[in-house]
Amino acid sequence: MSIHCPGPASAAFEQDWRRFDREHLWHPYSSLTQPITAYPVSGASGSRIRLEDGRELIDGMASWWSAIHGYNHPALNAAVRDQLDAVAHVMFGGLTHRPAARLGATLIDITPEPLQYVFFADSGSVSVEVAIKMALQYWFAQGHSQRNKLLTIRAGYHGDTFGAMSVCDPVGGMHHLFTGVLPQHLFARMPDCRNDEEWRESQLAELRQHLDHASHEIAAVILEPIVQGAGGMRFYCPEFLRRARALCDAHDVLLIFDEIATGFGRTGELFAMHHADVVPDILCLGKALTGGYMTLAATLCNARVAEGISEHDPGVFMHGPTFMANPLACSVAQASLELLLESDWKTNIARIESALETGLSPCRELEQVRDVRVLGAIGVVELIHPVDMHTLPEAFVQRGVWVRPFRNLVYVMPPYIISDDELATLTGAMCEVVRECC
Ligand SMILES: *Cc1c(COP(=O)(O)O)cnc(C)c1O
């Protein structure tokens, strides 16, 4: 090992581990030659993240939409511990276990009736790969293998693996980096309606055009319902989803909803599709599924898809990750769902929504702000110019909050247990940082 990289057990390493981190570990979307600061965390509980120097930060991110019950929750800790004493992991090929069956039953219970079949994947991106593969394999099984294109709207985000990337926004998703490797799919204009009163038929024109001209080669339409997350934190009206469902039906195209970010109450409904009362053929869930404890995702589908795949050549669905349905992850997911469903989550999300609305409204007056929008436990301040990622996180940390902006977006989706006082501090810090540092 080099002198920069002493053995992990040595005292020198313990002194200097952050240098090792900076010089050797990739962080999400990071540079190894011009890294941005990564703050060292020593612990976290409730809605607070503790840094090694003793500072405490109010968490505005719920670790990317996932830690909905906060950190170090006794019920979630117990679920992992109890399962750990039974079995941490066994292969899901040829073996099965109660944690997977219980969680599968719960997911079928809380999602719309037609979704009856569950594939447990190991991350959100993989659940999107699985959804795409289900759609393609379904059409292959029907003898329509020419139906191998996906149709989506711009400004979407569906994950970082190649299949998922191919349906991310072509510009924001950097498709030019992987030209010739990424499959070419079809993109329509994203809707810019905020609510049903603003509905104009023109919102649908490009989606309709693609389906009119090319439905014989389209396997599925894939959408993040109501909220487009990492593609730009955009909200759009439910009517678009109702129309998209009707168009898919008319053209016999499958509909995939990616609720990895929006699921489990985040938008004020248990699932964002409930805002529109629309049911997809395939549904992706992830992020908050385990309450932020472990990586786990799920792809649900209806009988049409499940039977279509299973009753025709090759007769099996061609996917099976090593850590499929990991028992620790399934157990903590079940405990997280029980916590959520036993709580008055709807009233609580409405509380957070109104605190975000009140707390962020001063930002509307600022000239550097283009838009302020709030839906459920999601608050977004969209700026005119991109933020400086080398200075802005520090401005938030100095104010005792954890907010991680991207592009021109300063946004929060806090854990559901955050208090009114903490929300006031969080939104106050956001307004102050936007006013003084952007
Ligand atoms: C985060 C996210 C994904 C990818 O999930 P990972 O667990 O990061 O692979 C896919 N779709 C949406 C909408 C997401 O927000």
Q: Would the annotation count 321 as a binding residue?
A: yes
Catalogue the active-site residues: 29, 157, 258, 287
Q: Which amino acid makes up residue 206? A: E
Can you give the pLDDT at residue 196?
81
User: What's CA 57's distance to the chain center, in Å?
Assistant: 23
Question: Going by CA atoms, what residue is nearest to atom 3 of ligand 1?
Answer: 159
Instruction: Please tell me the predicted confidence (pLDDT) of residue 6.
Output: 56
- 230 alpha carbon to ligand 1 midpoint, in Å? 8
Per-residue pLDDT tens digits of the chain, which is 438 residues long: 455 555 667 888 988 999 999 999 999 999 999 998 999 999 999 999 999 999 999 999 999 999 999 999 999 999 999 999 999 999 999 999 999 999 999 999 999 999 999 999 999 999 999 999 999 999 999 999 999 999 999 999 999 999 999 999 999 988 999 999 999 999 999 999 988 888 999 999 999 999 999 999 999 999 999 999 999 999 999 999 999 999 999 999 999 999 999 999 999 999 999 999 999 999 999 999 999 999 999 999 999 999 999 999 899 999 999 999 999 999 999 999 999 999 999 999 999 999 999 999 999 999 999 999 999 999 999 999 999 998 999 999 999 999 999 999 999 999 999 999 999 999 999 999 999 999
pLDDT of 5: 55
CATH number of 39-72+344-437: 3.90.1150.10
Q: Is 345 annotated as a binding residue?
A: no
Pocket probe mutation, ligand 1, options 29, 65, 126, 158, max atoms within 8 Å of Cβ: 158
Cα angle 312, 318, 323; round to 5: 145
* Domain definitions of the chain by residue range: 39-72+344-437, 77-342
Per the CB < 8 A criterion, the answer to whether 332 and 291 are in contact is yes
CA–CA dist 186, 175 (Å, integer): 13
Angle between helix axes 327-342 and 74-86 (nearest 10 degrees) is 150
Contact (CB, 8 A) for 239 and 193: yes
Q: What is the DSSP string of 416-433?
A: TT--HHHHHHHHHHHHHH
Q: What CATH number should be reported for the domain whose range is 77-342?
A: 3.40.640.10
- The answer to the question of whether 124 is labelled as a binding residue is yes
| 77-342 matches 39-72+344-437 in CATH topology | no
By alpha-carbon position, which residue is closest to atom 11 of ligand 1? 158
> Cα(416) to centroid of ligand 1, in Å?
19
Consult the annotation and say whether 286 binds a ligand: no
For the chain, report the end-to-end CA distance as a whole number of angstroms. 43
pLDDT digits (tens, 9 = 90+) for 231-255: 999 999 999 999 999 999 999 999 9
Mean per-residue pLDDT of the chain: 96
Structure tokens, 318 = 């061609």
Q: Taking a C-beta distance cutoff of 8 angstroms, is the pair 433, 392 a contact? A: yes
Buried b (16+ CB within 10 A) or exposed e, 121-130: bbbbbbbbbb
User: How far, rounded to the nearest angstrom, does the alpha carbon of residue 275 sit from its chain's CA centroid?
Assistant: 18
CA of 285 to the centre of ligand 1 (A): 9
Q: Quick one: pLDDT at residue 20?
A: 94
Residue 175: CB atoms within 10 A of its CB come to 18
User: What separation in Å is there between the alpha carbon of 233 and the centre of ligand 1?
Assistant: 13
State whether residue 84 is helix, strand or coil: helix
Q: Is 404 left (phi over 0), alpha (psi -120 to 50) or beta?
A: beta
Q: How remote is the C-alpha of 46 from its chain's centroid?
A: 21
Give me the pLDDT at residue 266, please.
98
All residues at 6 or more sequence positions from 5 whose CB lies less than 8 Å from its CB, including other chains: 20, 23, 24
DSSP 155-200: T----SSHHHHTTS-TTTTTGGGGTTTSPP-EEEPPP--SSGGG--
User: What is the pLDDT, as a whole number, of residue 1?
Assistant: 45
pLDDT, one tens digit per residue, over 307-360 is 999 999 899 999 999 999 999 999 999 999 999 999 999 999 999 999 999 999
Q: What is the pLDDT of residue 10?
A: 84
Task: Give residues (CB < 6 A) around ligand 1.
Answer: 123-125, 128, 157-159, 224, 229-230, 258, 260-261, 286-287
The residue count of the chain comes to 438
Distance (Å) of CA 203 to CA 192, 243, 274: 7, 10, 20
Count of beta carbons in the 10 Å neighbourhood of residue 108: 15
Residue with tokens 């060292």: 40
pLDDT at residue number 197 = 83
